Amino acid sequence: MLTQKQHDLLIFLDKTFKETGVCPSFDEMKDYLGLKSKSGVHRLLSELENRKFIRRLHNKARALEVLTLPSQKEVPSNLIPVANDDVIAIPLCGRIAAGLPIEAIRYPSETVAVPAQMMGLGDHYALTVDGDSMRDAGIMDGDTVIIRRTDRVPNGTIIVALIDGYEVTLKRIRANGSSVALEPANPNYETRIFSADRVEIQGELVGLMRSYK
């Protein structure tokens, strides 16, 4: 199980090695991933090393070795046409906590059919909600939320937030300078506050589907 950033970094490392024979610099990795600081790169590399995808050669500067790649080497297409012109199939990327953060998003093994009018421009994916911390925003346990990929949103937007590179949750964001507050929509849960470099925006909520079966 890899997060989007971990997967992208691993593919970038492998591609750079094959094309140039050398490891990219931390600045190159940071810029490629769109991160704000090198600390995010260090965290991602540590996760990949712990999961045996890479090995750091500590006797050499800027030396890394890619040991293995995930079985699904490429991020799948986010928009897959289906028979009905009014419906689009998008990846269903596992469960997301609307409560306490849970393990980060999995790579999709299936798709979900979504009405085309529910989505605008951009790449989209779906997640199944686990928990009730966004209850008062109308988001219930078991709902399927539709997410548009973006890393920039206005304050007050409900987002998919990746915390410290491995925890993912659905919350309303309030950014204030160097800190970020992730707000629930249920008085039984507390707002959590993080330094800005610990939180990555993975997308914004644009739609919701619910089954009554």
Catalytic annotation, residues:
133, 171
CA dihedral 112, 115, 121, 125 (to 10 degrees): -20
Distance CA 25, CA 92 (A): 33
Q: How many CA atoms lie within 13 A of 186 on its CB side?
A: 16
- Residue 6 token pair: 């971990």
Q: How many CA atoms lie within 13 A of 196 on its CB side?
A: 11
Strand partners, 95: 128
DSSP category for residue 104? P
Amino acid letter, 3: T
Distance CA 81, CA 89 (A): 6
The three-state (H, E, C) secondary structure of 124-180, written as one string: EEEEEEECCCCHHHCCCCCCEEEEECCCCCCCCCEEEEEECCCEEEEEEEEEECCEE
Cβ atoms of residues 146 and 205 within 8 Å: yes
